[in-house]
Amino acid sequence: MLREGYESYRRYVNPLVALRAELLGEPTRITAVRDGRLVEPRGEVEDFHGTQTFGHRHPAITQAVSDFLASDSPNWFPCRVNPYAGLLAQRLCERSARTLEGSRPAYSNVFFANSGSGAVEAAFKLARAATGRPRVISLDGAYHGCTMGSCALMKPGMFKDPFGPHVPAAGPIPFGDVDALVAALREGDVAAVVLEPIQLEGGVRAVSSAFLEAACELTAKHGALLVADEIQTGLGRTGRFLASERWPRRPDALILGKHLGGGLVPISAMLTSEQLFERAYGEHYASAEAHNTTFGGSALVCVAALAALELLTDELIARVAEVGDRFRGRLAAALARHELFVQVKGAGLLVGIELRPSDHPWLSFEHFGIDALVDQPTIGVLLCHRLYRRGFYCFACGHDWRILRVLPRFTIEEATLDAFVRAVDEELEYLCNLT
Ligand SMILES: Cc1ncc(COP(=O)(O)O)c(C=O)c1O
């Protein structure tokens, strides 16, 4: 069935993605999962994409889902009063409250969606409905997903240009530019400022503490919502439960996704406060579902998320911080000798390897006959291509192809990370020698 399905994917789903995977030598013939890794004919693959925090098909999460399917519980509740969603929402609020410093009010209201962009959309609409204002601001280099609201928050480029006209009064200001933020908020029409604590697709770029301080203070002063998109940084990835937990003030809305469902099921969440929910939707019960989605927070996905949260212990998150520090240190030390290496970036196990584009004509997309990409650097994808042959799956950042994004599972053995450091070192040497 799998073999036939791969061919059907090429034919019926996305021929260009299939072609790209083939050209780059990505693992396209996966036959099984073993101990959290992918198995393909060439051997095992360690997946650094980041959705599989506990490795592929973690037994505890798989078991929880199997137990649920074997039970006699409904999955979907027609009245929407769903005990599984209730429990998961409570756990998320309690868990985030435990990590928030001092006397800050905790999150107390949760909306469940089926994708990251679905949760971004929920925050976008919450902000407009709660403030009655139109404008939603993001930062240049942001990636918030592909729905029309999320897309409007992106900078011009392939993710945005084909889809205009865009949602009005939404879009980025220059990255980290406090003056631009001050000017925008002064207009009095801003409903929300949406930030990723560390932009992943933007090139593993952290917002500066000066910008964060200004964003926290000025959004409060001007009555705009501060929204943290923690789809990549949340749930332990940076060595903290939330990357925003030490921000000068708690964001008014927090977005979680990706591995919230344990890498097994699609679920995302937007956490906010009862007060904001009330302001946006609390007029009467008919407006309470003005924004909703049919399968958001169904029992099955909540069961998986509850099992994943159980696995995400404080000890595991502390391990992410420690192992991540050592990993980034070893990478930086090993790669420093290469002309094509610039720096290692990130926090915890959210890691970026910044490369210097080669100006050698043989290493250009023009040379490979791919004219559509002549303005893009090849170095990131060439290194990925070499790493796939060594059993490591990583990728270049969507908005900045010079930077490799490396997001290992939290349970990864340090010996595997050391093997990755050796592989990057050797393959970068190979590419340096080519030039
Ligand atoms: C920071 C961030 N926000 C939003 C999204 C969109 O999530 P999804 O692809 O699940 O819609 C992504 C996806 O990678 C993301 O990285």
CATH of the domain at 136: 3.40.640.10
Please indicate whether residue 233, judged by its CB atom, sits closer than 6 Å to ligand 1: no
On whether the CB atoms of residues 269 and 87 are closer than 8 A, the answer is no
Residue with CA at minimum distance from ligand 1 atom 8: 116
- Answer yes or no: is 241 within a domain: yes
- 362 and 275 in a single domain? The answer is no
Residue 190 CA from chain centroid, whole number: 25
- Answer yes or no: is 198 within a domain: yes
202 φ, ψ (degrees, to nearest 5): -75, 0
On whether the CB atoms of residues 294 and 51 are closer than 8 A, the answer is no
The pLDDT value recorded for residue 101 is 65
Please indicate whether residue 114, judged by its CB atom, sits closer than 6 Å to ligand 1: no
Contacts of the segment 23-27: beta carbons below 8 A, 24+ positions apart: 24/381, 24/384, 24/385, 24/388, 25/385, 25/388, 25/389, 26/388, 26/393, 27/388, 27/393
CATH of the domain at 363: 3.90.1150.10
Helix spans in 197-350 (H): 209-222, 274-281, 299-311, 314-335
Please indicate whether residue 115, judged by its CB atom, sits closer than 6 Å to ligand 1: yes
- 368 and 257 in a single domain? The answer is no
Contacts of 340 (CB under 8 A, 6+ apart): 355, 356, 358, 379, 428, 431, 432, 435
- Answer yes or no: is 79 within a domain: yes
Please report how the helices 15-24 and 379-389 are oriented relative to each other, as an axis angle in degrees rounded to 10.
Answer: 70
Contacts of 427 (CB under 8 A, 6+ apart): 383, 386, 387, 390
- 370 and 381 in a single domain? The answer is yes
Q: How many angstroms does the Cα of residue 230 sit away from the middle of ligand 1?
A: 9
pTM score of the predicted model: 0.96
Residue with CA at minimum distance from ligand 1 atom 7: 116
Please indicate whether residue 229, judged by its CB atom, sits closer than 6 Å to ligand 1: yes
- Answer yes or no: is 9 within a domain: no
Beta bridge pairs of residue 139: 173
Q: How many angstroms does the Cα of residue 365 sit away from the middle of ligand 1?
A: 27
- Answer yes or no: is 13 within a domain: no
Please indicate whether residue 121, judged by its CB atom, sits closer than 6 Å to ligand 1: no
Please report how the helices 209-222 and 178-186 are oriented relative to each other, as an axis angle in degrees rounded to 10.
Answer: 10
- 415 and 274 in a single domain? The answer is no
Please indicate whether residue 227, judged by its CB atom, sits closer than 6 Å to ligand 1: no
- 205 and 351 in a single domain? The answer is no
The ligand 1 atom at the shortest distance from the C-alpha of residue 120 is 4
Contacts of 359 (CB under 8 A, 6+ apart): none
- Domain-ending residue, one of 262, 279, 311: 311
Please indicate whether residue 267, judged by its CB atom, sits closer than 6 Å to ligand 1: no
- 225 and 251 in a single domain? The answer is yes
- 49 and 96 in a single domain? The answer is no
Query: Total structural domains in the chain?
Result: 2
- Answer yes or no: is 23 within a domain: no
The pLDDT value recorded for residue 166 is 96
- What CA–CA distance (Å, rounded) separates 92 from 252? 15
- Domain-ending residue, one of 272, 293, 311: 311
Residue with CA at minimum distance from ligand 1 atom 3: 144
The ligand 1 atom at the shortest distance from the C-alpha of residue 201 is 16
- Answer yes or no: is 2 within a domain: no
Q: How many angstroms does the Cα of residue 286 sit away from the middle of ligand 1?
A: 30
Residue with CA at minimum distance from ligand 1 atom 16: 232
- 295 and 404 in a single domain? The answer is no
- 332 and 305 in a single domain? The answer is no
The pLDDT value recorded for residue 429 is 95
Residue 106 CA from chain centroid, whole number: 23
- 211 and 176 in a single domain? The answer is yes
Torsion of CA 291, 294, 298, 302, to 10 degrees: -40
> Which of 143, 159, 198 best tests ligand 1's pocket when mutated (most atoms within 8 Å of CB)?
143
- Domain-ending residue, one of 311, 336, 362: 311
Task: Select from 33, 112, 76, 71 the least CA-distant residue to 305.
Answer: 112
- Answer yes or no: is 209 within a domain: yes
Q: How many angstroms does the Cα of residue 116 sit away from the middle of ligand 1?
A: 5
Residue with CA at minimum distance from ligand 1 atom 6: 145
- 286 and 384 in a single domain? The answer is no
Residue with CA at minimum distance from ligand 1 atom 4: 144
The pLDDT value recorded for residue 434 is 83
Tell me which residue range forms the domain holding 125: 65-311
pLDDT by position in tens, the chain (length 435): 677 888 899 999 999 999 889 888 999 889 999 999 999 998 999 999 999 999 999 999 999 999 999 999 999 999 999 999 999 999 999 999 988 766 577 999 999 999 999 999 999 999 999 999 999 999 999 999 999 999 999 999 989 999 999 999 999 999 999 999 999 999 999 999 999 999 999 999 999 999 999 999 999 999 999 999 999 999 999 999 999 998 999 999 999 999 999 999 999 999 999 999 999 999 788 888 899 999 999 999 999 999 999 999 999 999 999 999 999 999 999 999 999 999 999 999 999 999 998 777 777 777 777 777 777 888 899 999 999 999 999 999 999 999 999 999 999 999 999 999 999 999 999 998 887
- 330 and 404 in a single domain? The answer is yes
